[in-house]
Amino acid sequence: MICSFLYIVLMKGPVIIVIIITGFYNIYYINIFIARAKLKENF
């Protein structure tokens, strides 16, 4: 059970890292988009 879990982590590790990085970029860009939308509403 543990060996199969480690095998999955080793195989999927890079994919998970890429998903996490892209997730952070998406959150960052969404925050910028929301900030711009709020600025447009104010002016």
Q: What is the pTM of this model?
A: 0.46
Domain count, the chain: 1
8 — alpha (psi -120 to 50), left (phi > 0) or beta? alpha
φ, ψ dihedrals at 4, nearest 5°: -65, -35
Within-domain flag for 6: no
With residues binned 3-state (H G I as helix, E B as strand, rest as coil), the percentages for the chain, rounded to 5, are 95, 0, 5
Within-domain flag for 30: yes
Q: Domain range holding 20? A: 15-43
Q: Which pLDDT score, from 0 to 100, does residue 31 have?
A: 93
Tens-place pLDDT, residues 1-43: 678 888 887 888 888 888 889 999 999 999 999 999 988 877 6
Burial (CB count within 10 angstroms: exposed 0-12, middle 13-18, buried 19+), residue 26: exposed
Within-domain flag for 43: yes
